[in-house]
Amino acid sequence: MIDVEDLIALVKNYNPRSNSDLIRDAYEYGMRMHEGQFRHSGESYFTHPVAVAAILTEMRLDDATIITALLHDTIEDTRSTWGDISRLFGKEIADLVDGVTKLTNLQLSGAQSKQAENFRKLFMAMSRDLRVILVKLADRLHNMRTIKSMRPEKQVQKARETMDIFAPLAGRMGMQWMREELEDLAFKVINPEARNSIIRRFLSLQKETGDVISQITADIRTELEKQEIEADVFGRAKRPFSIWRKMQEKQLAFSRLSDIYGFRIITQTEMDCYRALGVIHHRWRAVPGRFKDYISQPKSNGYRSIHTTVSGRDGKRVEVQIRTRQMHEVAEAGVAAHWAYRDGVPTKNPFAVDPAHWIESLTDRFGEEDHDEFLEHVKLEMYQDQVFCFTPKGDVIQLPRGATPIDFAYAIHTRLGNSCVGAKVDGIRVPLWTRLKNGQSVEIISASGQRPQATWLDIVVTGRAKAAIRKSLREEDRDRFVRLGRELARVAFEHVGRRVTDKALRTAAKQMSLNGAEELLARIGSAEVSAHDVLAALYPELADKHEDIDPNRPIAGLEADTSFTRAPCCNPLPGERIVGITYRGKGVVIHAIDCPVLAEFEDSPQRWVDLHWHEGRHPAAYSTVLSLTIRHDAGVLGRICTLIGVQGANISDLEFIDRKPDFYRLRVNVELRDREHLHNLLTALEAESDVAQVQRVRDPVLKP
């Protein structure tokens, strides 16, 4: 464990004006609070907070962050309180420690809705003070470095959480070195065989080719010196996980990978960056499509650098990054560069990003979305690399990798996205599902009458576009849902001898905390609220009070040990009048009272059994066949299936009967609760504009 004087010396190296006494007090306080506590490895627990503080000194962070690292587990794991820390070290540090404690208690993996809510809390903590996340990332890095002492199942859980959440977060904050180390440490736990295989192959390659890194580094230095460009040159092999991911993405064997080495040129001035680029491209052949200029188009986290890939010695591809010293400092520290110190004062780095603006860019519009949309937005906006495209006027639009012209349109304005009908990329008309690339110029073609299509949800990748499309689709469906809801409400009210009136609907909406009768009808039509719920709110005494019916004994009038089946010719549903016909060896077969097949048994009255369904709520377990004629168009079948699901029915089988250029005819087996459920589903399907015809199928040929 690093002793207090060594830790203070690490801080003094970049901040001679550091408050050594306060750091010393925090060190002693933390050691005292954690006395008697041990890690899984058997070490004193306090070795962990000290190691976290040491990691943060590598980023040259301020005293408050270093002290927070020393105390970050005291509130959670010891008798210490926020008040104690505030009194001894000040409110700023107490709030930071409290923020780290709350983050530690968040479960960022698990059920989707819970995960989304906890992501909201994560970003709220980040918006209050980003240093909380810096301490948490350093905490996770040290835990991953020492993960071997944990139980195997716990190791896997922590590794997956690191790979899914903390590593991408570090990358989004610009701390690429931390992202790479976190990914590789997690990779070591999740897939050790693959990682060991990469290492073995890499060592074998080194034996065959020698020290390629020092050779290429020397070549680059020689070329730069010829042009009198002052620069530092560094080379390294990429980490095993980075190589593994490239193998997976490109579906290549290790032997076919070429750019597994990376080189970095650190120059004195920005002009020298472009001069060095010219030297590299003059000496070695550039690989097409592998050039990115993040100096003229910086990333939102402040990252600036030129990336190029060239064919080096023996035709091997190598990646070269070129940047100035100040750019390099931001590239190493990311958003944390805002708090970096040098010679006792905060570093005045012109490329450091204001954390408040960075958080705002990351969380923009999150508050308008529901849990699922929020989580989707976070993962898309935070975890993906970016592309930069241009409007016809030359404005730059920043998008995640894989974005389409529709994403581009919504990034400019929601109105333009909603009215998009086509796009031109570099002057050529392209499909809307085209994936955009860096540097392309995009022109959106719009039309006033256009509306977003449901199929767009499968095309776009940005959270903003998905949220806007869903909102438009909800508004478009609202009128249809209101009409459907009114019909469903009418049927439900008539069923109990009441008449549905505007006043009754307004009263029910008020009792159900909804904004008026129209909102209530829309929710009934979209199956968010059932007509039964409305009746229960207005007439509790008339609402169905029966318990759910046992699907194994739904019929009254049979002996307890008598087996029964529903006749396939009519498939009777609860709520319909029924009669049983006895069969030797088959028990009783249940027919609807109007089934044509019953005519065959008029001369055998002894086989008839008087039956009726138990009253109450039956499960959606009764198969019924529907015949549907629907419009032949993209996305129509998907919307119909979704509508059936929204109505609470399950599709158990689907068969195409006829396919024409303009329509499909199909049979759908759905599982329903009762006759009213069938009526509601038929009404919903008839109201759908893409459905030309729908009817229930009864086939007398299908005899028991």
Please indicate whether residue 77 is annotated as part of the active site. yes
Q: Using H for helix, E for strand and C for coil, what is the string for 285-325?
A: EECCCCCEECCCCCCCCCCCCEEEEEECHHHCEEEEEEEEH
Residue closest to 423 by CA, chosen among 414, 592, 410: 410
DSSP 548: B
The residues near 572 (Cβ < 8 Å, ≥ 6 apart) are 566, 578, 590, 591, 592, 595
CA distance 599 to 569: 13
Pairing of strands 612-613, 608-610: unpaired
Torsion sign over Cα 157, 160, 165, 168: positive
Q: Cβ of 323: how many Cβ atoms within 10 Å?
A: 25
The number of helix segments (H) and strand segments (E) in the chain equals 27, 23
Crossing angle of helices 20-33 and 82-89, rounded to 10°: 150
Crossing angle of helices 47-57 and 63-71, rounded to 10°: 160
Q: Given 25, 58, 62, 76, which residue is catalytic? A: 76
List phi, psi (to 5°) of 291.
-110, 130
Start-to-end CA span in the chain (Å)? 81
Q: Cβ of 66: how many Cβ atoms within 10 Å?
A: 27
Q: What is the Cα Rg of the chain in Å?
A: 34
The residues near 76 (Cβ < 8 Å, ≥ 6 apart) are 101, 104, 105
* DSSP secondary structure, 638-660, as one string: HHHHHHHHHTT-EEEEEEEEEE-
Q: Given 62, 77, 92, 671, which residue is catalytic? A: 77
The CA-based angle 377-382-388, given to 5 degrees, is 100
The residues near 640 (Cβ < 8 Å, ≥ 6 apart) are 628, 630, 685, 688, 690, 691
Contact 485, 524 (CB under 8 A): yes
Biggest distance spanned by C-alpha atoms of the chain: 111
Please indicate whether residue 76 is annotated as part of the active site. yes
CA distance 130 to 173: 10
Which structure tokens are listed for 478? 């609202």
Three-state DSSP state, 528: coil
CA distance 332 to 340: 11
CA distance 327 to 353: 12
Q: Which residue has the tokens 């995009």?
A: 442
Three-state DSSP state, 234: strand
List phi, psi (to 5°) of 16.
-60, -20
Contact 355, 130 (CB under 8 A): yes
Contact 175, 168 (CB under 8 A): no
Alpha-carbon torsion angle 58, 59, 65, 70, nearest 10: -20
CA distance 623 to 650: 9
CA distance 61 to 380: 29
Q: What residues act catalytically? A: 76-77
